[in-house]
Amino acid sequence: MLKSDLERVALPPLNAIHDEEVEMINAIQALCRAGDEPGLATAVAELGEHFEAHFTLEEDNMGRTEFSDLEEHRAEHDAMRERYASIAEDADLAGMTAFFEEELPAWFVDHVASLDVVTAEHVAGWQG
């Protein structure tokens, strides 16, 4: 996927985090194509940790700034936390490939455009 597939948000550090994940997803796609299962296990675990830190940072930002849509946004993170954990634990190479080539990039593009953009706008403008 391309970094330009993702909308830019109003907080530069979050854009940097999103862009790092695009690079990690692309690396995982290459490992899927190469059928490198040991390499995949490591890279999938690293991206899982990166997503966890990313989601937690956004949730902390929302809590600190009393954002009204915190629970909706957190629920979408939680659904992906669960989905990602089940892929990381149970998926075979075909399942990983479908997830990292299609499902996750589509989710990421939609999540950033629908929730992260609005959240970052609120957090950047917060005068607490």
Query: Cβ 23 to Fe ion, closest distance in Å?
Result: 15
Nearer to Fe ion, 13 or 95 (CB): 13
58 binds Fe ion (CB under 5 A): yes
Rounded Cα distance between 44 and 52, Å, is 12
Closer residue to Fe ion in complex, CB, 116/123: 116
Q: Which of 11, 22, 59, 116 binds Fe ion (CB under 5 A)?
A: 116
Least Å from the CB of residue 47 to Fe ion: 13
* Residue ranges with strand state E in the chain: none
Question: Binding residues for Fe ion, how many (CB under 5 A)?
Answer: 2
List for the chain the helix, strand, coil content (%; round to 5).
Answer: 85, 0, 15
Q: What's the distance, Cα to Cα, between the start and end of the chain in Å?
A: 37
Q: How far apart are CA 60 and CA 73, in angstroms?
A: 12
Least distance CB 55 / Fe ion (angstroms): 6
Binding site for Fe ion (CB under 5 A): 58, 116
